Structures are given as structure tokens and as C-alpha cells.
Amino acid sequence: MYFKLAWRNIWRNKRRSFITIGSILFAVFFALIMRSFQEGMYEMMIDNMVSISTGHLQVHKEGYWEDRSIDNIMTLDQDVLKEMNSIANVNRACPRIESFAWITADNLGRGAILIGLDPRVDVMALDDKLVDGEVVGMDDKSIMIGEGMAEYFGITIGDTLVLLGQGYHAQTAAAIYPVGGILHFGNPEFSDKLVVMPLKLAQEFCSTEDRVSSILIELDDIVAHTEVKPKLQGLQYAEAVSVLDYEEMIPEVLEAIQADRIGGKIFIGILYVIISFGIFGTIMMMTAERKYEYGVLISIGMHRFKLFMITLRESILIAFIGVLMGFLVAFPLIYKLHHDPIPFGEEEMEAFQSFGIEPAYYSVIDLVLCFEHMLIIFCIAMVVNLYPLVKIMTLRPVEAMRK
Amino acid sequence: MSIIKTQGLTKIYKEHTVEVRALNGVTMDIAEGEFTAIVGPSGSGKTTLLNIIGGLDKPSGGQVSIGDVDITDLNDNQLIDFRLNNIGFVFQAYNLIPVLTARENVEFIMLMQKRPKAEMDERAESLLKAVGLEDQMHKRPREMSGGQQQRVAVARALASKPKFVLADEPTANLDSKTAINLLDIMATLNKEEGTIFIFSTHDQKVIDRARRVVTLEDGKIVSDVLQN
């Protein structure tokens, strides 16, 4: 009957209960959407960096990361590559050539990042980024460029670009290649400056023979990097290599994310404080309205703690309903943004692109994160209940029943 | 045999710097099975006396013994337990739990006493029948008239099988006919259950139905009369 009493008490003053449930619902909804979106942005930033630049892990000649020169490259051993691919949790190992070149067409020129890769297996997922033309094959003699670069030079599929650079051991690297495909990159830096070419063509252009700059490792799960790294270090290479994980390669990105995450948490903290006062206000009102009734119940023989437990049950029910509804309202939106991110408006797009961030509302589906925030808000609702506890414990029935 | 004994009860309230003496040396005994009215004008100390006998308030001086327990020595938790198991309350404003039905209101007291479900059901039904509300058991207080609510309150007060029932102005919100009907029910239950009823009132028709009338004035007993 105590549960029945608590449940019916909730609906005694429907408006007050709806306001309380609404505040909790809003807090949960806002916290989940904001944090999922924030974590989604971080995930997208890391994914971009990992798929285009670094991989989850990267194997390269010792000293390459400090001096990323075309002279500082390693021999590509196909047996080692096979072994890498057979390590548990390794999704694929992708050899790459990375260099720089000066690109010209007509009277225009621009510095570019040159990446030679195996288009069939590379982590860059060229098929997903293709907006025009075709993904070039490993034996093709054509290149792919970002949309920004295509726009800058005013060229389309089949047009040619001249590449001038420096090859292995200061050999001249100069060639003219037709554009076989145009790629879309969310990050404007890549869109404007990236030239992607088949690995063989890049090795030919830079005169590196079978050497590569690095081997990018993509894992099935990012968290497996600590366990895969020593296995990669244990393989037999032709020369001394170093194996770096993404945390070592993009520390500045991770630090920026950490700083931004703290900012987000502070914002959510402020929201929690505001919501706490909202809930506290309704609990205070409820306690004042029911002071007389509490006096009656204590008079007829109800222990104060038992009375508090009834009000606590009411609060638990209200908090539970609010938290659950907040989750049920937020989750479909989180799910939608995870599977089908919505592009930003033009103004926000420019602002985000200037920071190198994919300009779309994307969210992660992280049930632990959801549960964490639901629990925090639930706990806030419970802490606020210390007020009726104090009131009930100090209430004098005769005074409470004096109207 | 005396069940309730008060000895030199005083109660002094402080209102700002002025002391108000609500009770001024009240000594009285109430025996088993009594049906007693405490009467007197407003401010004479009727409610204060009932509150102190009911363990809801502490006296400034004197003693209250119920059976062989001096309730002025009990702490808050002991007093709550004592009230639950020994005293039934009927309030002027009925004070039923608004979200519970008549039957649930009566059962609630027994639930706090941790009585078996079957006993709770049986006693709630028989008490509501005794107060003439067998067809209103599943109604909530707001669906009942004032007189019906007060009858539920009487049934609730008796549910815990108390030694005595304290009723502070139980008929004040009722019309004369309903008030007399309620008093008749209380008198019947007093006889059938053997429970002491002590009620405060200043309604002459109600006073006429009491078997003993204790009159208070300025916190003192000025008369104590047995009626036929």
C-alpha cells in the first residue's frame, strides 16, 4: 500500500508532477543530445585523422615521424605485410607513400600533399568520398584530387595536372597526370590540398622503387591499439622501425578534444545546477503544501522515517519517469544523427571547416554515456529530497496541524 | 479502574514576551469505557489538554499516565509507537488520506501496525459496516460528504484497537443532524468495543449525549459532571 500511496500522491497534483517530470526530461534530453553530439564530433575528428593521415597504428622507419622526408622511408616487405594482416584485431594494413608536390595547371599553382596508396584496400575509403569520375586502380596512371583543388584549378575528369616535387635522394620528380576522380573531404585542408594516387604511380613519381613512407594499420576496434602495438613491434623488419599509435601521432588533437570536453562538462554542470533548483523548488512547494498532512500522519502513528520513505518513493518514481522519458525522447534523435548526420547550415559550415571539423551534426551511440547522465540527474533528484527529510524529521505535529 | 491520569498539568506558551497559561494544574482520571466530553469556551485549553493526553505535545509541568506508562517520559519514536497502538484520533477536519479509499484509510493504520492482511480486511470491513459505510468502502474522501468522512475517521481511529479515542471538535464541521448521528455511532462503538472516547466540543446537543462532562475555563477544570 505504501507504493500505491506514493503513486497516487504523484498524480494528486498533476501539474506539479508534470513540471517536475518535464524539468528532469529536459535535463536528460539536453545532456544526452549535447554530450552525444560533442562526443560524435570528437569521434569524427579522430576518424578523419586516422583514416586520412595516421591510421590507428602506424609503422614507419625509425625517425620518420620526426622528419617526414621522402628520404626517410622503409622497405615494403610483402611477407611482413601479410603477417600484419593476420594479427588479431587488425582489419587491414595499408602501405603508403607520403610527400609534397607543387601542382600547376594553366597559369595556376598550389602546394599539395601527395598520398600514394593501394586504392583497393586503403583506410581512406575512396569509394565513399568519390563525387565524380572513378576510383583509380592500382595500375592506373591517373590521380584523384579533392573537390576544393578541382574547383581552384577549374578542372574536371580527364583534365591534366602537372606535378613537380622532389623524389627519393633528391631525384627530380616531375610528371603530368590526368585526373581520374574527384573526392569529397569534410576537412577543407584535405579538400584543397590532397592528391591521391595509386601506390605504384607514387613510387614511380618519387623514384622510391618498392619503398613506402609508412604502413597504416586499421583496427577492428580503436581500443585494441595497446594490445596490437607490441605484436607489430615484434615483427621482423628489414630496418629499424618505430610503431606509433594514434594517441602518440595526434596528441594536439586529443588535447584539444580533452579541453573542449571539459568545457562541455562545465556547461552540462551549469545545466544540472539550474535543473536542481527547478526540482528543489517543486519539492519545496510540495513539502509546504503537505506539511499539515505530514503532521496528521505522524500524529496517528506513522514513524518519521517511514513517512520520508513514502515521499522518497514518490521522488524516485517521478525521477525515474522523467529520466526514462528523457532517454526515450533523446535516443531516436541520437540514433538518427548517428546513422544519418545532418549537414550544418552555411554559416556554421564555414566556422567548423575553418577548424578542420566535418560540418555535420553527428552523434555517437554510447549507452554508458547515456546511463552516466541519467544516473547523475536521478541522483540530483534524490539529493534534493534531503529537504523533505529534514522537514519531516524536525516537524512538530501540533504546529504542522495548526492552520 | 483509571486508564488515563493527569496530575497537575500545566502548559505555558510564550507569545513574544507574554506568557500564556493554556493549562493551569489540570488533574483528572478517566476510567475504562468512559464517554467523556471536554467542554469550555474557545481558548479554555480543551485542544491543548487533548494534545497532551494524546502525546502530541509536551506539558510544561505535571504528568500524564496512560495505564502504567508516564508518556511525558517517552521520546519521539516511543511516543509515535505509543500513539499508534494505544490512541485513536478523530480530527475536526477529518484528515483522511485523500488518495486512499475509505477502506484503505482504515486499513492504513493496521498496515503500520503490521497486522496480517486477512485481519486488516476483516476489521476494516466490520468497522465501516459499524459506521454505516459498507456501500462507500471504495470511495475516496472527496467523493464523500463531511459526515461520511468523519465516520470513516472514527472507523480509522478504532482500527488499531486503541485504549482510547481522542476527538477534537469532531462535529464542528457537521450539521446538527449529522453531528448527533456521528455521536450516536461513537456511543454505540464505545459500548461495543469498550473503547474510551474523549471529545472536545462546545455544541450543546453533543454535550447532552456525553455521559461525563468536564468543563474547562482558563486552563482549569471548573466542573466535572456525570450525566444520565
Assess whether A114 and A224 both reside in one domain: yes
- pLDDT (0 to 100) of residue A17: 85
**String of DSSP letters for A239-292:** S-EEEEEHHHH-HHHHHHHHHHHHHHHHHHHHHHHHHHHHHHHHHHHHHHHTHH
Q: Pairing between strand B196-201 and B164-168? A: parallel
Sequence-separated (6 or more) residues with CB below 8 Å from residue A56? A50, A217, A218, A219, A222, A225, A245, A246
- pLDDT (0 to 100) of residue B27: 92
Assess whether A266 and A125 both reside in one domain: no
Instruction: Evaluate whether residue A126 is within a structural domain.
Output: yes
Residue B175 gets which letter from DSSP? -
User: Above 70 in pLDDT, residue A403?
Assistant: no
Q: Which helix (H) or strand (E) holds B79?
A: helix B76-86
Q: In whole angstroms, what separates CA B46 from the centre of its chain?
A: 12
Assess whether A196 and A104 both reside in one domain: yes
Q: At what angle do helices A251-289 and A386-394 cross, to 10 degrees?
A: 30
pLDDT class of A7 with cuts at 50, 70, 90: confident
Range with lowest mean pLDDT among A110-119, A200-209, B124-133: B124-133
pLDDT class of A378 with cuts at 50, 70, 90: confident
pLDDT in tens, A57-110: 999 999 888 888 888 899 888 899 899 999 999 999 999 999 999 999 988 999
Residue B221 pairs in a beta bridge with B216
Instruction: Tell me which residue in A8, A301, A398 faces B84 most closely, judged by beta carbons.
Output: A301
Contacts of B163 in chain A (CB under 8 A): none
Instruction: Evaluate whether residue A364 is within a structural domain.
Output: yes
C-alpha to C-alpha distance for B134 and B120, rounded to whole angstroms: 15
Range with lowest mean pLDDT among A132-141, A187-196, B11-20: B11-20
Range with lowest mean pLDDT among A36-50, A71-85, A86-100, A335-349: A335-349
Query: What residues in chain B have their Cβ under 8 A from chain A's Cβ atoms?
Result: 51, 54, 56-57, 76-77, 80-81, 83-85, 89, 91, 93, 95, 97-100, 104, 107-109, 111-113, 156, 160
User: Domain range holding A204?
Assistant: 63-239
Assess whether A92 and A151 both reside in one domain: yes
Cβ proximity of B160 and B110 under 8 Å: yes
Would the CB atoms of B80 and A304 count as touching at under 8 Å? Answer: yes
Sequence-separated (6 or more) residues with CB below 8 Å from residue A346? none
Q: Which long-range contacts (CB under 8 A, 24 or more apart) does B124-130 make?
A: B124/B155, B124/B159, B127/B155, B127/B158, B127/B159, B128/B102, B128/B103, B128/B152, B128/B155, B130/B155, B130/B185, B130/B188, B130/B189, B130/B192
Q: In whole angstroms, what separates CA A315 from the centre of its chain?
A: 35
For the record, the C-alpha cell of B53 comes out as 493526553
pLDDT in tens, B38-88: 999 888 888 899 999 988 888 998 999 988 888 888 888 899 999 998 899
Taking residues A297-319, report their average pLDDT.
88
Contacts of B108 in chain A (CB under 8 A): 1, 5
Would the CB atoms of A5 and B80 count as touching at under 8 Å? Answer: no
- pLDDT (0 to 100) of residue B201: 86
C-alpha to C-alpha distance for A91 and A221, rounded to whole angstroms: 9
Q: In whole angstroms, what separates CA A288 from the centre of its chain?
A: 46
Average pLDDT, chain B: 87
At B222, the amino acid letter reads V
Q: In whole angstroms, what separates CA B32 from the centre of its chain?
A: 15
Would the CB atoms of A1 and B111 count as touching at under 8 Å? Answer: yes
Would the CB atoms of A306 and B56 count as touching at under 8 Å? Answer: no
User: Above 70 in pLDDT, residue A297?
Assistant: yes
Instruction: Evaluate whether residue A164 is within a structural domain.
Output: yes
Closest chain A C-alpha to B24 CA, distance in angstroms: 19
A385 burial (CB, 10 Å; 0-12 / 13-18 / 19+) is buried
Contacts of B109 in chain A (CB under 8 A): 300-301
Assess whether A71 and A204 both reside in one domain: yes
Range with lowest mean pLDDT among A134-148, A255-269, A334-348: A334-348
Residue closest to B158 by CA, chosen among B180, B129, B138, B179: B129
Cα dihedral value A282, A288, A292, A293, nearest 10: 20
C-alpha to C-alpha distance for A222 and A102, rounded to whole angstroms: 35
User: Above 60 in pLDDT, residue A356?
Assistant: no
C-alpha to C-alpha distance for B92 and B88, rounded to whole angstroms: 14
Number of separate domains in chain A: 2
Instruction: Count CB atoms within 10 A of the CB of residue B39.
Output: 23
Instruction: Evaluate whether residue A247 is within a structural domain.
Output: no
Q: Where along chain B do its domains lie?
A: 2-226
Would the CB atoms of A1 and B108 count as touching at under 8 Å? Answer: yes
Assess whether A348 and A260 both reside in one domain: yes
Contacts of A297 in chain B (CB under 8 A): 97
Express as a percent the part of chain B with pLDDT over 70.
100
Residue of B nearest to A403 (CA): B93
Taking residues B118-136, report their average pLDDT.
87
Assess whether A26 and A73 both reside in one domain: no
Taking residues A134-139, report their average pLDDT.
90
Residue B63 pairs in a beta bridge with B7
Assess whether A40 and A126 both reside in one domain: no
Q: Where are the beta strands (DSSP E) in A106-223?
A: 108-117, 130-133, 143-146, 160-166, 172-183, 194-198, 211-212, 214-219
Cβ proximity of A279 and A387 under 8 Å: no
Tell which of A193, A217, A239 closes a domain: A239
Q: What is the ipTM of this complex?
A: 0.86
Assess whether A259 and A230 both reside in one domain: no
Instruction: Tell me which residue in B51, B91, B99 faces A12 most closely, judged by beta carbons.
Output: B99
For the record, the C-alpha cell of B17 comes out as 514576551
- pLDDT (0 to 100) of residue B21: 86
Residue of B nearest to A303 (CA): B80
C-alpha to C-alpha distance for A1 and A3, rounded to whole angstroms: 5
User: Above 60 in pLDDT, residue A354?
Assistant: no
Closest chain A C-alpha to B108 CA, distance in angstroms: 8
Cα angle, residue B42 at apex, residues B39 and B44 outer, rounded to 5°: 65
Would the CB atoms of B57 and A303 count as touching at under 8 Å? Answer: no
C-alpha to C-alpha distance for B6 and B9, rounded to whole angstroms: 6
Taking residues A6-13, report their average pLDDT.
81
- pLDDT (0 to 100) of residue A198: 95
Q: Which helix (H) or strand (E) holds A100?
A: strand A90-105
Instruction: Tell me which residue in B84, B99, B160 faces A8 most closely, judged by beta carbons.
Output: B99
How many beta-carbon pairs below 8 A join chains A and B? 57
Taking residues A132-154, report their average pLDDT.
92
Would the CB atoms of A302 and B85 count as touching at under 8 Å? Answer: no
C-alpha to C-alpha distance for A352 and A77, rounded to whole angstroms: 40
Would the CB atoms of A300 and B83 count as touching at under 8 Å? Answer: yes
C-alpha to C-alpha distance for B44 and B218, rounded to whole angstroms: 5
Tell which of A176, A205, A239 closes a domain: A239
Average pLDDT, chain A: 87
Taking residues B144-170, report their average pLDDT.
87
- Between A186 and A299, whose confidence is greater? A299
Q: Does domain B2-226 have CATH number 3.40.50.300?
A: yes
Best residue of B74, B80, B84 to probe chain A, by most A CBs closer than 10 Å: B80
At residue A63, what are phi and psi to the nearest 5 degrees? 95, -10
Assess whether A265 and A377 both reside in one domain: yes
Taking residues A308-335, report their average pLDDT.
89
Instruction: Evaluate whether residue A58 is within a structural domain.
Output: no
Q: At what angle do helices A291-299 and A386-394 cross, to 10 degrees?
A: 50
Residue closest to A175 by CA, chosen among A121, A116, A122: A116
User: Above 90 in pLDDT, residue A275?
Assistant: no
User: Above 60 in pLDDT, residue A128?
Assistant: yes
At residue A312, what are phi and psi to the nearest 5 degrees? -65, -40
pLDDT in tens, B165-182: 898 888 877 777 777 877
At residue A82, what are phi and psi to the nearest 5 degrees? -65, -45
Residue B171 pairs in a beta bridge with none
Would the CB atoms of B97 and A1 count as touching at under 8 Å? Answer: no
Residue of A nearest to B156 (CA): A300
User: Above 80 in pLDDT, residue A402?
Assistant: no
Contacts of A5 in chain B (CB under 8 A): 97, 99-100, 108
Would the CB atoms of B77 and A303 count as touching at under 8 Å? Answer: yes
Contacts of B95 in chain A (CB under 8 A): 293, 296, 401
Q: Which long-range contacts (CB under 8 A, 24 or more apart) does B55-58 make?
A: B55/B79, B55/B82, B55/B83, B55/B87, B56/A299, B56/A397, B56/A398, B56/B83, B57/A398, B57/B11
- pLDDT (0 to 100) of residue A349: 66
Would the CB atoms of B80 and A303 count as touching at under 8 Å? Answer: yes
Length of chain A: 403
Express as a percent the part of chain A with pLDDT over 90.
31
Would the CB atoms of B89 and A1 count as touching at under 8 Å? Answer: no
Contacts of B83 in chain A (CB under 8 A): 299-301
Contacts of B84 in chain A (CB under 8 A): 300-302
Would the CB atoms of B99 and A303 count as touching at under 8 Å? Answer: no
C-alpha to C-alpha distance for B4 and B164, rounded to whole angstroms: 9
For the record, the C-alpha cell of A234 comes out as 615484434
Would the CB atoms of B99 and A5 count as touching at under 8 Å? Answer: yes
Instruction: Evaluate whether residue A246 is within a structural domain.
Output: no
pLDDT in tens, B173-223: 777 777 787 788 778 878 887 888 898 988 887 888 888 999 999 889 999
Assess whether A269 and A205 both reside in one domain: no
Would the CB atoms of B107 and A1 count as touching at under 8 Å? Answer: yes
Would the CB atoms of A398 and B109 count as touching at under 8 Å? Answer: no
C-alpha to C-alpha distance for B39 and B216, rounded to whole angstroms: 6
At B33, the amino acid letter reads G
Assess whether A231 and A151 both reside in one domain: yes
Contacts of B74 in chain A (CB under 8 A): none
pLDDT in tens, A155-204: 999 999 999 998 888 888 899 999 999 998 877 888 899 999 999 999 99
Sequence-separated (6 or more) residues with CB below 8 Å from residue A74? A59, A60, A61, A64, A211, A212, A213, A214, A237, A238, A239, A241
Tell which of A186, A215, A239 closes a domain: A239
